[in-house]
Structure 1
Amino acid sequence: MSLAVSSISLLALILFSFTFIIFNSKGQCTHVSSLKFSPNSSFKIALFADLHYGEATSTDGVPQQDKNSSKAMSTLLDRERPDFVVFLGDIITANNLLIANASYYWEQAISPTRKRGIPWATVFGNHDDASFVWPSEWFSATGIPHVRCPPKTLPRSGEGTCSFRGTTRLELMKGEIERNNLSCSESGPMDLWPSVSNYVLQMKSSENPKSTVAFLYFLDSGGGSYPEVISNAQARWFQQKSQEINPGSRVPELVFWHIPSKAYEKVAPRFGIHKPWVLGDHSSNDDYEEHWENK
């Protein structure tokens, strides 16, 4: 089958501080480098961004905003029944975490998707591997408060000890891939490190498994442990990979990354983009506002 970018309808929702994007399209992740359309030539993708799990770690137990995020994702996944999920960065707020291994919160974030047997891919944002940031109020006249370290019973947290170094992109990605058969994420070419989440997945036709109908690219836009940038090396990798696997741009290509580029300022007005979105409080399932912007 043929697939045109214009045939993919887009619904963007920003709900409780994270983004959901649904592409009308139905299939399964057969292996790490290929996705396949279903016989009815459809494949639905849900996108979650800026979940920021672990942001309110000063509270006991699981922070309420994380519970709300899991509930909202579960509701959307049950309602939309996507075939694939993309986590578009800032899955956790590492600069708020006092644990040696932030994978505990990473696993919480992907849990609703994994429980439903839906394959996914991730790309890093600017908060995912940031080192702990000392709050300025800790150095006021009242002095540094008691630091609550994670309990020893917390899985994969660092054996109940406080840690301020953060968890690297490589550690987060390695942990996700090793512990989850449904993960289609990749660590990307070593020559692009510390920029890690740079890879491409192929979308295959349901009628002809050898026929590629679209490519999904994932780029690491940096931040956290290194500058917020898509480097020239990444751009060259993208161009070379595209020419190699899709000469002449014969099939559509979709690119996912976390930090929007300046190009949006020029591109969006030209196409009269209509942006339905919902803005709300991370800590409440009830307080939100609907907004529509027409360019």
Structure 2
Amino acid sequence: MAKLPNRSPAPTDWCTITVIFLIWQNIVIVRPEDDVTLRPAPLRDGCLRFSGGSKGSSFKVALFADLHFGENAWTDWGPQQDFNSVKVMSTVLDVERPDFVVYLGDVITANNLPIHNASLYWDQAISPTRARNIPWASLFGNHDDAPFEWPVDWFSSSGIPQILCPFANASEGDKCSFKGTTRLELMKNEIRHNVLSYTGFGPRNLWPSVSNYVLTIVSPKSDHNLPVMFMYFLDSGGGSYPEVISTIQSEWFRNKSQEVNPDSSIPEIVFWHIPSKAYKKVAKKVAAGRTKCVGSMFEEPVATQEAEMGIMKLLKERPSVKAIFVGHNHGLDWCCPYEKMWLCFARHTGYGGYGTWGRGARILEITDEPFSLKSWIRMENGTLHSEVVLAT
């Protein structure tokens, strides 16, 4: 990878400036309250700080993708898969001890949830991270607010759906309306009940796309808050609306990145759930022997968004964008070079969803002075593979 451009002098408190921009754009970032047990020590201004204060210290992020909690919840099989998924996350968290966790979409399988408050399952999914006092952020996948699909076999024998409503009282019948839980409700419940959540509401003009926001990782030095990296989160749609990153989301990214990182001097990474069409183009180049990648390439075809609406063009034009991370394809965990950045899949973490591939998580390690971005896959059995340097 090319060397980073020289960093221009920065104001002494970038985090404060960033938060002013976030408020101006009507983005709500929920910040943890003071708690000496947190790792890393959270800042009141919404930024994330390295766990160490010395030169060369690192900031580690674990990506949990496609957990699919609540799948087939009316069977014995479903709850067992959720239990297994908790074990995977617990293993990764205990082995890697990350400073931060990203929930990369399809946290729940809403189309399998015949209850209004799917946040009950969302809460189970984030419980291993919360129990270890590790901050996190989440974004939405295509299954998180998908409409409930009635299983045909519920009506084949007795003709009575196998479901128990949460309230027996007839006056509470609306609780059995099966209308599902919207993106806004899921996010509101996560933020309201978790002081460790850094998840943010995006600007209202981007809705129904909701999980669009930016977080800042700041220098481990104690004398100032110089950004080391910006992390952008985008909602790639699906479920209640088409699987796209819209033109207006792309415009939001263009404006936001120009505000917080106008000279592209600070490295940036981007998270969303469903791969862009560029991922499929890269996979074809690999099959033709024109590109070298790291990780599992051909376990299944790349399933992409429905259309490209400008985001990839913007990312290609920004030298500060080092990598994009997605989930969605359970059998893929590769990283491939693309233009001047990397396109990466996470690793399927949950036991819900399709496929029997081994479970694990992608790990990111950001080091300051000198800057580097490294990644690898940590499997459920503790093994590590597919190490790659994404930027230096």
Shorter-chain TM band: 0.7 to 0.9
Three-state SS of the structure 1 residue aligned to 2:215 is strand
Determine the C-alpha separation between the residues in 2 that align with 1:113 and 1:95.
25
- Which letter maps to 2:122? W
CA deviations on 1:30-67 (whole Å, 9 max, x unpaired) are 24731112324210100001000000211269710000
Determine the C-alpha separation between the residues in 2 that align with 1:112 and 1:42.
22
Give the 3 Å change call, closer, same or farther, for CA 178–159 of structure 1 in structure 2.
Answer: farther
- Which letter maps to 2:262? P
Asked if 1:92 is matched to 2:108, the reply is yes
- Which letter maps to 2:88? A
Give the 3 Å change call, closer, same or farther, for CA 209–168 of structure 1 in structure 2.
Answer: farther
Give the 3 Å change call, closer, same or farther, for CA 53–150 of structure 1 in structure 2.
Answer: farther
- Which letter maps to 2:216? Q
Determine the C-alpha separation between the residues in 2 that align with 1:68 and 1:160.
32
From 256, 276, 280, give the equivalent of 1:261: 276
Corresponding residue of 1:174: 188
Determine the C-alpha separation between the residues in 2 that align with 1:67 and 1:173.
23
Matches within 5 A, 1:55-204: 55-59=71-75, 63-138=79-154, 142=157, 144-152=159-167, 161-204=175-218
Three-state SS of the structure 2 residue aligned to 1:172 is helix
Give the 3 Å change call, closer, same or farther, for CA 73–159 of structure 1 in structure 2.
Answer: farther
**Structure 2 residue runs without a partner (length 5+):** 5-38, 297-332, 334-346, 360-378, 380-384, 387-392
Determine the C-alpha separation between the residues in 1 that align with 2:120 and 2:174.
12
TM-score, normalised via structure 1 length: 0.79
Asked if 1:274 is matched to 2:294, the reply is yes
8 Å CA contact 1:95–1:132 kept in 2: the answer is yes
Corresponding residue of 1:36: 49
Mean Cα deviation higher: 123-132 or 267-276: 267-276
* Identity, % of aligned positions: 57
Corresponding residue of 2:66: 50
CA deviations on 1:161-201 (whole Å, 9 max, x unpaired) are 43311101111101100100000000111110110000000
Give the 3 Å change call, closer, same or farther, for CA 32–166 of structure 1 in structure 2.
Answer: farther
Asked if 1:250 is matched to 2:247, the reply is no
Give the 3 Å change call, closer, same or farther, for CA 261–32 of structure 1 in structure 2.
Answer: farther
Corresponding residue of 1:16: none
TM-score, normalised via structure 2 length: 0.61
- Which letter maps to 1:187? F
Three-state SS of the structure 2 residue aligned to 1:114 is helix
Three-state SS of the structure 2 residue aligned to 1:248 is coil
Three-state SS of the structure 2 residue aligned to 1:52 is coil
Three-state SS of the structure 2 residue aligned to 1:27 is coil
Displacement of 1:217 after TM fit? Answer: 0.2
Determine the C-alpha separation between the residues in 2 that align with 1:176 and 1:281.
19
Displacement of 1:139 after TM fit? Answer: 5.7
Determine the C-alpha separation between the residues in 2 that align with 1:197 and 1:279.
20
Corresponding residue of 2:40: 27
8 Å CA contact 1:57–1:97 kept in 2: the answer is yes
RMSD: 3.0
Corresponding residue of 2:369: none
Displacement of 1:206 after TM fit? Answer: 1.2
Determine the C-alpha separation between the residues in 2 that align with 1:253 and 1:210.
16
- Which letter maps to 1:167? T
Mean Cα deviation higher: 267-276 or 39-48: 267-276
Determine the C-alpha separation between the residues in 2 that align with 1:190 and 1:86.
23
- Which letter maps to 2:214? V
8 Å CA contact 1:28–1:83 kept in 2: the answer is no
- Which letter maps to 2:162? V
8 Å CA contact 2:89–2:349 kept in 1: the answer is no
8 Å CA contact 2:147–2:180 kept in 1: the answer is yes
Displacement of 1:224 after TM fit? Answer: 0.7
CA deviations on 1:113-160 (whole Å, 9 max, x unpaired) are 0000000000000011112112244565x474433125459xxxx899
Corresponding residue of 1:231: 246
Displacement of 1:98 after TM fit? Answer: 1.1
Determine the C-alpha separation between the residues in 2 that align with 1:230 and 1:251.
24
Give the 3 Å change call, closer, same or farther, for CA 218–280 of structure 1 in structure 2.
Answer: closer
- Which letter maps to 1:149? L
Three-state SS of the structure 2 residue aligned to 1:58 is coil
Determine the C-alpha separation between the residues in 2 that align with 1:44 and 1:109.
20
Displacement of 1:222 after TM fit? Answer: 0.5
